[in-house]
Chains A and B, each alone.
Chain A
Amino acid sequence: MTTTTDQTVELVERRSAAIEESGWGAPFRMFQPRNLCFWLYVLLLAMGARQLYAQAAPTAGVFADANLAAVASAGAFCLIFLLFLHYFDRYERTPTSLAVAAFLGGGIGAPWALALSGNSAMMDLYAKWFGQAWATDWQAGLTAPFVEETSKGVVFLMLLSLAPVAIRTVYDGLIVGAYVGLGFQVLEDMLYGQNSAYTNFGVDQVGSVLHTFVIRSLTGVSSHAMYTAIFAAGVIYVVGTPAQPRRIGRGLLLMLSALVVHGTWDSMLAIADGNGLIVALLMVGITVASIAVLVIALRWGAAAERGWLRDVLAPEVANGTLTELELAALAGDRRQRRHDRRRAVKHRSDGVSRRREKHVLAAALDLAHDLCESGGVDSPAVEHSRAEIARLRTK
């Protein structure tokens, strides 16, 4: 009896330690006037909003159709990507206010306050130093990665300072970085859409915007959201957090990968020497390479996430809310997890359908989120989640 109690106490202590170390469930508060990064973030947003207004307002009436089409198409892209991010954000829910701050910083601050002026200056300098032909080939690939990745990177860095508990893990870097990149991508797509309408002299605005949107979406796997996710994961390694000890080499490698993938993508035509087949091969190769880097970053971060999830939910096995198999199905490594998930479904309780057992696993993740938000204590939300699991088993 004593041994069982001791074990339970130990499990609960490990849960508390996991929640503390991971920062899971920590709230985010944007208004932090004593944090210098708060004021810099406000400055960046103000600069970006001013530039955006200056650029868009004078032609808003003329390009109304283009703007509407750009908002609709970029919004659709954004929605799909948000669903994707939500799926990957399985271990922890990123606070909504943090996701919004990342999206706005990436969408308004980074492109309009920094990238526009930085890109323009760098491209001018390349043309002045190396001539128009050289600049035509290489200016995008040798400008955008440096200007844009660092611009988005500082948005992430400021949020890291503002949310040192909510952003602690490599996964946090990947997810929050992706929100920053998504904001950048959506606003950049809108800008490209408007540019496209402009170069068509304002004729068939919707058609020209959608044409640009389709091309950018089809080739959009290797996009700003992915670059920034990788770059931000690198920042986490370089800076180091209580949950992720500093690993400068690994961090720089990830940040460099984001720059190389971005730069290679933007220089494809010049690298291929105008050969269409090589361009197609490069597109596939760069997309595969960027996905590979992302998967590596996910794997590097996943082991710690699984360990924390196991620690958070282990007391729930001890108190009978979950089974050992279900815990393994949730917190095992990817391949093992799939196997354990099948086992958990197969060895479900009598009278529980396969579909319902899958619901139990999803509800167990809700329970983990609620436990983290309550700091591991039995809050009403935690009790509700446990009751939900019980309801699913008995129904």
Chain B
Amino acid sequence: MTSVRHESTRVPVEHRLLGIDRRSIPYAAVAFAVIALWAWVMPWVDDQVPWDDTLQAGDVVQVTDDVTMNAAPGWGIVKGLLASDRTRSGQKSSDQVVLVKDGVVFSILQGPFEGTPSRLLRQVKRITGVGGEGFSVATTPQDVVTASGLRGVAQDFSSARNVGTIYAFVVDGVGIDIQVVGPEAQMQELSNETAAMIGSLATTGGSR
């Protein structure tokens, strides 16, 4: 029994291989395989598989359970549900929508929020760090009104590599934060499409 309890302090000679405890090799091999699989291999596989879920003309993005947005064709949907999607769980919208095109990311975050769009904008800048070191922010937020009458605010910002705009709306106790970010040239090229998508925000019950 004594020998067993001393096993952990000195590796018996017959179990040594180049100074390593040979008995640890099978355990380490399995552990390393799992570590490699989840830390490196699967993310690499994920990177190799392209997103090919491209939005078509007429597709409508479900921003919140009650708010939709007409998608511009050609944008890829990385995350989020369309109004035409039917899930078994009954979930209509996701917390986050992410659309991408030509290096521009159009992301929407929604969640409970009681307050004005201006306050939501301030909160968004606070939690995302926009306005902090490395960002240049336009001095005054601009009012935004969608075609259906939803009122919000917008503020431009830029960093060393990208430019972007934060939009903030509050609809029936739900805050909607939209951030459009990308390289300046692509942002300009796609500005009509992003403006059209923002302008199409509407409640499913109709205009407001």
Which residues of chain A have a CB within 8 Å of any CB of chain B? 16, 19-20, 23, 26-29, 32, 34-38, 40, 43-44, 47, 58-59, 62-63, 113-115, 117-118, 120-122, 124-125, 127-129, 131-133, 136-137, 147, 150-151, 153-154, 157-158, 160-161, 163-165, 198-203, 269-274, 375-376
* B126 with A136: CB separation less than 8 A: no
By a CB distance below 8 angstroms, the chain B residues around A120 are 43, 46
* B129 with A58: CB separation less than 8 A: yes
* B30 with A118: CB separation less than 8 A: no
By a CB distance below 8 angstroms, the chain A residues around B50 are 128
The 19 sampled A-B contact pairs (Cβ below 8 Å) are A34-B11, A37-B24, A113-B35, A114-B39, A117-B39, A118-B38, A127-B53, A129-B49, A136-B91, A137-B91, A147-B38, A157-B31, A161-B27, A203-B113, A269-B91, A270-B89, A273-B89, A375-B1, A375-B5
Instruction: Say yes or no: is B140 at the interface (Cβ < 8 Å to chain A).
Output: no
- Give which listed residue, B31, B81, B91, contacts A37 with CB less than 8 A: B31
* B87 with A136: CB separation less than 8 A: yes
By a CB distance below 8 angstroms, the chain B residues around A199 are 95, 109-111
* A154 with B35: CB separation less than 8 A: yes
Q: Can you list, as one digit per residue, whether each of B106-133 has a CB less than 8 Å from chain A (1) or not (0)?
A: 0001111111000010011011010000
* B86 with A133: CB separation less than 8 A: yes
By a CB distance below 8 angstroms, the chain A residues around B27 are 36-37, 157-158, 160-161
* B31 with A34: CB separation less than 8 A: no
By a CB distance below 8 angstroms, the chain B residues around A28 are 8
By a CB distance below 8 angstroms, the chain A residues around B94 are 132, 136
* B34 with A153: CB separation less than 8 A: yes
* A35 with B126: CB separation less than 8 A: no
By a CB distance below 8 angstroms, the chain B residues around A203 are 113-115, 123
By a CB distance below 8 angstroms, the chain A residues around B86 are 133
CB under 8 Å from chain A, chain B span 1-45: 1-2, 4-5, 7-9, 11, 16, 19-21, 23-25, 27-28, 30-32, 34-35, 37-39, 42-43, 45
Give min CB distance, B27 to chain A, whole Å.
4
Which of A20, A47, A133 neighbours the largest number of chain B CB atoms within 10 Å of its CB?
A133
* A114 with B81: CB separation less than 8 A: no
By a CB distance below 8 angstroms, the chain A residues around B4 are 20, 23, 26, 165
Listed from nearest, the 4 A-B pairs whose CB atoms lie closest are A274-B90, A118-B38, A269-B89, A36-B28
Give Cα A200–Cα B32 distance, bound, in whole angstroms. Answer: 38
Q: Name the residue on A nearest B129 (C-beta).
A: A58
By a CB distance below 8 angstroms, the chain B residues around A375 are 1-2, 5
Summarize B's interface: helix, strand, loop or mixed.
mixed
By a CB distance below 8 angstroms, the chain A residues around B5 are 26-27, 165, 375
- Given the known A-B contacts A161-B28, A375-B1, are A118 and B82 also in contact in the complex, defined by CB atoms under 8 Å? no
Which of B9, B78, B89 neighbours the largest number of chain A CB atoms within 10 Å of its CB?
B89
Which residues of chain B have a CB within 8 Å of any CB of chain A? 1-2, 4-5, 7-9, 11, 16, 19-21, 23-25, 27-28, 30-32, 34-35, 37-39, 42-43, 45-46, 49-53, 77-82, 85-91, 94-95, 109-115, 120, 123-124, 126-127, 129, 175, 177
* A118 with B39: CB separation less than 8 A: yes
Give min CB distance, B171 to chain A, whole Å.
14
- Given the known A-B contacts A35-B24, A117-B42, A161-B24, are A40 and B88 also in contact in the complex, defined by CB atoms under 8 Å? no
- Give which listed residue, A20, A121, A132, A270, contacts B42 with CB less than 8 A: A121
By a CB distance below 8 angstroms, the chain A residues around B80 are 132
Give min CB distance, A101 to chain B, whole Å.
13
Give Cα A140–Cα B19 distance, bound, in whole angstroms. Answer: 43
Give min CB distance, A134 to chain B, whole Å.
8
Give Cα A323–Cα B42 distance, bound, in whole angstroms. Answer: 60
* B123 with A44: CB separation less than 8 A: no
Give min CB distance, A132 to chain B, whole Å.
6
**Apart from A28-B8, A158-B31, A164-B23: 20 A-B pairs, beta carbons within 8 A:** A20-B1, A26-B8, A29-B8, A32-B8, A34-B16, A35-B20, A37-B27, A59-B129, A113-B39, A121-B42, A127-B79, A132-B85, A136-B94, A157-B31, A161-B24, A164-B8, A199-B110, A201-B109, A203-B115, A269-B88
Q: Name the residue on A nearest B29 (C-beta).
A: A36
* B87 with A40: CB separation less than 8 A: no
By a CB distance below 8 angstroms, the chain A residues around B90 are 269, 273-274
Give Cα A34–Cα B19 distance, bound, in whole angstroms. Answer: 6
By a CB distance below 8 angstroms, the chain A residues around B43 are 117-118, 120-121
- Given the known A-B contacts A125-B46, A157-B31, A199-B95, are A16 and B19 also in contact in the complex, defined by CB atoms under 8 Å? no
By a CB distance below 8 angstroms, the chain A residues around B35 are 40, 43-44, 113-114, 154
Give Cα A355–Cα B144 distance, bound, in whole angstroms. Answer: 75
By a CB distance below 8 angstroms, the chain B residues around A163 are 8
Q: Name the residue on A nearest B84 (C-beta).
A: A133
- Give which listed residue, A16, A32, A151, A376, contacts B34 with CB less than 8 A: A151
